[in-house]
């Protein structure tokens, strides 16, 4: 009997999947691969069911002969082991980022004469509704909040992109590219104080108040499902920080990062060019302890950010602070540097990792931007934050457009570099 393989990356079986199975049955024994949590999280979206539940769902579906686990988004291992006569899939994988997967399958099958069967993708109101419902579920605080911890348990490095609005949130949520391993996308979002302030035309000095910062979080949350790491600046007064923790946790934010500075905060990338004061270890530990004390779930993380290298206080001071903050209950450590050479970041991470193997390490490679995520991962870094690149790329583009319209007294000259009217009109889906 011939074999037909299909891979399901789903937590609900709907008429589209039933149709695939029904069509597959015409060709032979139907083998369904259930995509592993790791692959689903990295390349598609977070599952809302436990892996075993997803396997059970497929096993109990009529027409399914065998169920296996597909570990990677690309089919190499599965096809080499199973050598199915056919691989069947909805024809939606002929375009967009999924085309890379189809090309991979096609190349593998051609090695021994297997065939792809593309069947029309089921576009129906019901399928659309189911898809939307799952997305809504993923956006709920109780699902979203724990997602950063889940990611950290699975992936060696998590990458976060700066967002400061619904629109930038959508970019972080939806941007997918093809690479050697298959598809890639951002895992999380960073609500930067610098970019949130800049978007409002204000300096990054804790001037934009928490009510406004929460409004930004809300704008982002309304249109995304990925976990949020919030830049909490200094955390403010201990008496205020406890309320911030409660609010962020309730909203479904996964982590807040607070920096060990006190008084008027200036952006770290100014370094010692401006007056900035580092907090005492004792006082900052008190802030961490107070935050941890008021937390209501185990999901939320308070990450302590060390400014010793920024303020040229030396490696020893940075490490002493890191151990003290971990002892006070910090769920992670962020080490910051404004040097172009990543040597001091590597030195810190290597030394810290010898003492603390488990505590997540966070870095923001803005100045030392030549290092890759893999390199940072080798030094024990778990979260890489691209803290301001969206804002910094948008501003010069917008400014140039404004200049050119002024220069030519019309918009024809800038038109070529613009998104088309059709694209902007259809960019945002309606419910
Ligand atoms: C931010 O993005 O606001 C940060 C990172 O705090 S940095 O600007 O490098 O200080
Ligand atoms: Mg900041």
- Indicate the pairing of strand 188-191 with strand 158-162: parallel
Rounded distance between C-alpha atoms, residue 184 and residue 161, angstroms:
13
Closest C-alpha to 233, from 249, 213, 215: 213
pLDDT band at 426 (very low <50, low <70, confident <90, very high): confident
**Which pLDDT value is given to residue 431?**
74
Tokens 């934010």 label which residue?
Answer: 253
Find residue 182's DSSP bridge partners. 179
Across 339-363, average pLDDT: 97
pLDDT band at 344 (very low <50, low <70, confident <90, very high): very high
The three-class DSSP label of residue 225 is coil
286 C-alpha to center of ligand 1: Å?
Answer: 23
Output the CA–CA distances (angstroms, integers) from residue 215 to 17, 68, 209, 289, in the order listed.
39, 45, 10, 26
**82 within ligand 1 shell (Cβ under 6 A):** no
Find residue 3's DSSP bridge partners. 29
- Is pLDDT above 80 for 202? yes
When the pLDDT of each residue in the chain is averaged and rounded to a whole number, the result is 95
- Is pLDDT above 90 for 316? yes
**Which pLDDT value is given to residue 178?**
84
Rounded distance between C-alpha atoms, residue 373 and residue 157, angstroms:
7
- Is pLDDT above 90 for 402? yes
Q: Tens digit of pLDDT for each residue in 47-66?
A: 989 999 999 999 999 999 99
What pTM, to 2 d.p., does this model score?
Answer: 0.93
Tell me which of 17-31, 130-144, 154-168, 393-407 is least confident.
130-144
Percentage of the chain lying above the pLDDT 70 cut: 100
| Catalytic, out of 187, 196, 204, 260 | 204
Rounded distance between C-alpha atoms, residue 213 and residue 193, angstroms:
8
Tokens 């220069």 label which residue?
Answer: 407
DSSP assignment of 287-323: HHHHHHHH--SSS-EEEEEE-TTTTT--HHHHHHHHH
- Is pLDDT above 80 for 301? yes
- Is pLDDT above 90 for 397? yes
Neighbours of 116 (CB within 10 A): 16
Across 150-158, average pLDDT: 94
Q: Which residues surround ligand 2, an ion (CB under 5 A)?
A: 193-194, 231
Residue 281 phi, psi dihedral angles, 5° rounding? -60, -45
The three-class DSSP label of residue 94 is helix
Scored b (16 or more CB within 10 A) or e, 261-294 reads: bbeebbbbbebeeeebebbebeebbebbebbbee
pLDDT band at 311 (very low <50, low <70, confident <90, very high): very high
Nearest ligand to the CA atom of 307: 1
**Which pLDDT value is given to residue 135?**
85
Strand order in the sheet with 115-119: 66-70, 29-35, 3-8, 86-90, 115-119
The closest residue, in CA terms, to atom 7 on ligand 1 is 268
- Is pLDDT above 90 for 11? no
Tell me which of 98-107, 285-294, 312-321, 323-332 is least confident.
98-107
Rounded distance between C-alpha atoms, residue 365 and residue 337, angstroms:
8
- Is pLDDT above 90 for 106? yes
Across 324-345, average pLDDT: 98
Rounded distance between C-alpha atoms, residue 122 and residue 94, angstroms:
14
**198 within ligand 1 shell (Cβ under 6 A):** no
Across 344-368, average pLDDT: 97
Q: Tens digit of pLDDT for each residue in 172-183?
A: 999 999 877 778
How does DSSP classify residue 61? S
Residue 332 phi, psi dihedral angles, 5° rounding? -170, 165
**Which pLDDT value is given to residue 387?**
98
**Which pLDDT value is given to residue 381?**
98
Across 266-270, average pLDDT: 90
How does DSSP classify residue 90? E
The closest residue, in CA terms, to atom 10 on ligand 1 is 268
Has 103 been annotated as catalytic?
Answer: no
Q: Tens digit of pLDDT for each residue in 232-267?
A: 999 999 999 999 999 999 999 999 999 999 999 999
Token digits of residue 37: 């949590």
Across 97-114, average pLDDT: 95
Q: Tens digit of pLDDT for each residue in 66-90?
A: 999 999 999 999 999 999 999 999 9
Percentage of the chain lying above the pLDDT 90 cut: 87
Rounded distance between C-alpha atoms, residue 244 and residue 232, angstroms:
9
């Amino acid at each position: 009997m011939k074999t037909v393989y299909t891979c399901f990356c789903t937590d609900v079986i709907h008429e589209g999947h039933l149709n695939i199975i029904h069509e597959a049955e015409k060709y032979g024994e139907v083998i369904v691969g259930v995509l592993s949590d790791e692959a689903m999280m990295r390349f598609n979206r977070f599952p809302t069911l436990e892996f075993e539940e997803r396997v059970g769902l497929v096993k109990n579906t009529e027409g399914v002969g065998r169920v296996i686990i597909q570990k990677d988004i690309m089919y190499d291992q599965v096809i080499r082991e199973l050598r199915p006569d056919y691989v069947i899939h909805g024809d939606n994988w002929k375009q967009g980022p999924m085309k890379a997967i189809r090309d991979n399958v096609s190349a593998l099958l051609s090695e021994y004469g297997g065939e792809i069967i593309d069947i029309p993708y089921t576009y129906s109101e019901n399928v659309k509704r189911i898809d939307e419902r799952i997305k809504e579920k993923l956006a709920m605080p109780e699902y979203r909040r724990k997602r950063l911890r889940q990611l950290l348990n699975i992936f060696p490095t998590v990458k976060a992109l700066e967002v400061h609005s619904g629109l930038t949130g959508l970019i972080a949520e939806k941007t997918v590219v093809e690479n050697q391993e298959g598809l890639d996308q951002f895992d999380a979002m960073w609500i930067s104080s610098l970019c949130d302030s800049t978007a409002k035309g204000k300096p990054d000095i804790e001037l934009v108040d928490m009510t406004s910062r929460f409004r930004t979080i809300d704008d982002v949350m309304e249109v995304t499902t990925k976990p949020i790491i919030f830049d909490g600046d200094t955390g403010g007064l201990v008496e205020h920080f406890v309320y911030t923790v409660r609010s962020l946790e309730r909203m479904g934010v996964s982590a807040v990062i607070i920096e060990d500075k006190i008084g008027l905060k200036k952006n770290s990338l100014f370094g010692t060019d401006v007056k900035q004061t580092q907090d005492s270890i004792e006082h900052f530990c008190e802030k961490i302890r107070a935050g941890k004390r008021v937390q209501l779930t185990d999901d939320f993380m308070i990450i302590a950010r060390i400014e010793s290298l920024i303020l040229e206080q030396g490696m020893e001071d940075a490490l002493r602070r890191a151990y003290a903050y971990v002892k006070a209950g910090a769920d992670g450590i962020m080490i910051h540097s404004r040097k172009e050479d990543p040597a001091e970041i590597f030195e810190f991470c290597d030394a810290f990792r010898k003492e603390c193997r488990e505590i997540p390490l966070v870095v923001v490679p803005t100045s030392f931007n030549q290092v890759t995520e893999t390199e940072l991962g080798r030094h024990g870094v778990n979260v890489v934050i691209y803290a301001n690149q969206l804002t910094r790329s948008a501003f010069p583009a917008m400014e140039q457009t404004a200049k050119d319209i002024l220069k030519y007294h019309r918009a024809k000259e800038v038109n070529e570099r613009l998104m088309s009217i059709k694209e902007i009109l259809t960019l945002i889906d309606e419910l």
